[in-house]
């Protein structure tokens, strides 16, 4: 870490919208927020005994903006920060803006022992700045999630996508269907691919089985995570997969699978022909809605194979009754029906870009993962879009040519940083449909907590800057230098950051 004051905020991530150097510098130990090591029980606090003046006023902040026309959601997060020898002054329209100003102070104090006197005016570019964690394939637990939320807050990220259910494990307590956690939260094999090879027999393990691998979040765990996230202005969005990726659901409640003419059961998908499927989903979602106050519910919708629907008498009967011409329209029927249910309870749905197949209601938000093109198509059809393209933002892809290679594709930090979704042909008139960006950590190949963190960092730093900073402030050589400095601090706090040889 530097022991000298920096002439510009070379170590701030994300880069602020406007920055002006003042005269002199301030020792980090004199700032009102003293950095400390991360702890899962840590509460946010500000040392008000130090000279820190906070003004919350839209009128005052508008004057600082000098005619810049920000949307209401940007104004809530915007702040003006003045750091001088006599103390700190923060102006913001909302508590959220004050919080982000304090995160800026914390980062400056964490990286340098002395910080330039300066003024900063800052606001976000996109409203959705997210990270997704796949907890189904490998379960990490509450303290791990809190630890990542702490880093997200420092980076001014505000959406945590909680991938709670998928084929190898159901990870959230549902009282109406206790076998989801008593059976399919546990399995004999710890490593996903070992389980995948042996799962043809439907191998899960009852809770309490000696040496069974797994776990799940109780409703109290979820409440604790949400309280921690709420303090940091992070919205937690749960995902309940449908209709595919439901091997675990089918194992716990086999009656929800398609009934095939040969007497078999489809191990992958729920059956949209059976009314009991919708009864199950609605009861599950009601408990999820009670647990998670987020206005969004992610309903998956990806990689539904649909072949068995063509053979299932219940699905065929549903298609005839609803006048559906294809299995794609049958999936659309299911998604639209669940969207109506969500609306009835004040929620909006997000789905992977396959939910576009067969037609989609305009109110649904599309998470574009196949590539940029899927997002462009969705924007063109009037949908809100979150960009998480696989070749840029799938964080299970490896970061070097050989070591720690979990998946065949190569995704170095520079490529993650290079994405600008609005530079791909989206008109100014349609730009409001681009809600933002998200990095996704799938964990088929990532079993341990240290490995998960190594795949997240420093690449999440790059996603954070794309989501928050104005495009003219992005500069790869400068970011690379700042990311190196923040990586050193993160390691000091106990995070595993790539490359691990620097630990």
- The reported pLDDT for the residue numbered 1 is 38
Is 193 part of a structural domain of the chain?
yes
pLDDT-based confidence at residue 7 (cuts at 50, 70, 90): very low
Are 184 and 234 in the same domain?
Answer: yes
Are 135 and 84 in the same domain?
Answer: no
Q: Rounded distance, CA 54 to CA 79, Å?
A: 10
Q: Is the pLDDT of residue 411 over 80?
A: yes
Q: Is the pLDDT of residue 58 over 80?
A: yes
Are 82 and 142 in the same domain?
Answer: no
Q: Evaluate whether 28 touches 113 at the Cβ level (below 8 Å).
A: yes
Nearest Cα residue to 131 out of 368, 395, 413, 353: 395
**Residues 129-188 pLDDT 10s:** 999 999 999 999 999 999 999 999 999 999 999 999 999 999 999 999 999 999 999 999
pLDDT-based confidence at residue 305 (cuts at 50, 70, 90): confident
Given 70, 101, 122, the domain boundary residue is 122
Mean pLDDT of the chain: 90
- The reported pLDDT for the residue numbered 4 is 44
How many alpha carbons fall within 13 Å on the CB side of residue 210?
A: 0
**Residues 193-216 pLDDT 10s:** 888 887 655 589 999 999 999 999
For 407, residues 6+ apart whose C-beta sits below 8 A from its C-beta are 396, 397, 398, 444, 445
Instruction: Name which of 92-96, 130-134, 341-345, 407-411 the model is least confident about.
Output: 407-411
CATH number at 238 reads 3.20.20.80
CATH number at 117 reads 3.30.379
- The reported pLDDT for the residue numbered 503 is 42
Nearest Cα residue to 70 out of 45, 92, 41: 92
Is 8 part of a structural domain of the chain?
no
Are 164 and 68 in the same domain?
Answer: no
**Residues 428-458 pLDDT 10s:** 889 999 999 999 999 999 999 999 999 999 9
Q: Is the pLDDT of residue 407 over 80?
A: no
Residues with active-site annotation: 166, 245, 303
Looking at per-residue pLDDT, the higher value among 392 and 47 belongs to: 392
Is 382 part of a structural domain of the chain?
yes
Are 109 and 138 in the same domain?
Answer: no
Are 293 and 429 in the same domain?
Answer: yes
pLDDT-based confidence at residue 37 (cuts at 50, 70, 90): low
467: left (phi over 0), alpha (psi -120 to 50) or beta: alpha
- The reported pLDDT for the residue numbered 262 is 74
- DSSP string of 225-284? HHHHHHHTT-EEEEEEEESSS-HHHHHH-GGGS-B-TTS-B-SS---TT-HHHHHHHHHH
Is 92 part of a structural domain of the chain?
yes
How distant, in Å, are the alpha carbons of 320, 330, 408 from that of 273? 10, 9, 38
Are 65 and 192 in the same domain?
Answer: no
Looking at per-residue pLDDT, the higher value among 4 and 29 belongs to: 29
Q: What are phi and psi of 10, to 5 degrees?
A: -65, -15
Q: Rounded distance, CA 216 to CA 239, Å?
A: 14
**Residues 358-391 pLDDT 10s:** 777 668 899 999 988 889 989 988 999 999 999 9
For 90, residues 6+ apart whose C-beta sits below 8 A from its C-beta are 52, 53, 54, 55, 79, 80, 81, 82, 98, 101, 102
Number of structural domains (the chain) is 2
Q: What angle do CA 468, 474, 476 make, to 5 degrees?
A: 130
Are 109 and 175 in the same domain?
Answer: no
Average pLDDT over residues 50-64: 92
Compute the radius of gyration of the chain from its Cα atoms.
24
Are 187 and 289 in the same domain?
Answer: yes
**Residues 288-301 pLDDT 10s:** 999 999 999 999 98
- Before 458, cis peptide (omega within 30)? yes
Are 111 and 176 in the same domain?
Answer: no
Domain span including residue 55: 18-122
Question: Where do the H-state alpha helices sit in 259-382?
Answer: 275-291, 313-322, 327-344, 372-380
């Amino acid at each position: 870490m530097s022991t000298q004051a920096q002439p510009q905020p070379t170590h701030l991530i994300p880069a602020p919208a406007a920055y002006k150097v003042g005269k002199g510098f301030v020792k980090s130990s004199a700032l009102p927020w003293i950095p400390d090591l991360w702890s899962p029980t840590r509460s946010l606090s500000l040392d008000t005994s130090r000279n820190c003046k906070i003004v919350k006023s839209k009128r005052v902040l508008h004057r600082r903006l000098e005619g810049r026309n920000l949307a209401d959601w940007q104004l809530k997060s915007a702040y003006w920060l003045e750091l001088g020898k006599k103390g700190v002054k923060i102006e913001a329209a909302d508590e959220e803006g004050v919080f982000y100003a304090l995160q800026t102070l914390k980062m400056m104090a964490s990286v340098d022992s002395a910080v330039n006197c300066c003024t900063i005016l800052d606001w976000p570019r996109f409203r959705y700045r997210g990270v997704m964690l796949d907890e189904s394939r490998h379960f990490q637990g509450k303290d791990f999630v809190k630890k990542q939320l702490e880093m997200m807050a420092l980076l001014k990220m505000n959406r945590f996508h909680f991938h709670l259910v998928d084929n190898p494990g159901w990870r959230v307590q549902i009282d109406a269907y206790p076998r989801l956690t008593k059976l399919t939260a546990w399995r004999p094999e710890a490593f996903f691919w070992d389980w995948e090879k042996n799962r043809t027999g439907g191998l899960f393990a009852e809770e309490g089985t000696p040496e069974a691998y797994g776990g799940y979040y109780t409703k109290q765990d979820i409440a604790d995570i949400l309280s921690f996230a709420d303090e940091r202005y992070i919205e937690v969005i749960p995902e309940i997969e449908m209709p595919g990726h439901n091997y675990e659901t089918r194992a716990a409640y086999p009656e929800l699978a398609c009934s095939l003419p040969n007497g078999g059961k489809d191990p992958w998908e729920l059956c949209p022909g059976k009314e009991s499927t919708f009864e199950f989903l609605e009861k599950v979602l009601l408990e999820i809605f009670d647990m998670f106050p987020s206005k969004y519910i992610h309903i998956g919708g990806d990689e539904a194979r649909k072949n068995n629907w063509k053979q299932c008498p219940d699905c065929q009967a549903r298609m005839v009754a609803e006048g559906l011409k294809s299995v794609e329209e049958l999936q659309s029927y299911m998604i639209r029906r669940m969207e109506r249910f969500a609306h009835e309870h004040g929620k909006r749905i997000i789905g992977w870009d396959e939910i576009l197949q067969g037609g989609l209601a305009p109110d649904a938000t599309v998470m574009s993962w196949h590539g940029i093109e899927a997002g462009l198509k969705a924007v063109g059809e009037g949908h809100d879009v979150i960009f998480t393209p696989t070749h840029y933002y799938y964080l299970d892809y490896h970061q070097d040519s050989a070591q720690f290679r979990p998946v065949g594709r190569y995704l170095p930090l520079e490529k993650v940083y290079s994405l600008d979704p609005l530079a791909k042909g989206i008109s100014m008139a349609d730009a409001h449909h681009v809600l933002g960006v998200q990095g996704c950590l799938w964990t088929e190949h990532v079993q341990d907590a240290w490995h998960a963190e190594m795949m997240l960092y420093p690449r999440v730093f790059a996603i954070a800057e794309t989501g928050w900073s104005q495009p003219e402030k992005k500069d790869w050589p400068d970011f690379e230098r700042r990311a190196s400095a923040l990586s050193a601090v993160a390691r000091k706090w106990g995070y595993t950051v790539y490359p691990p040889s620097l630990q």
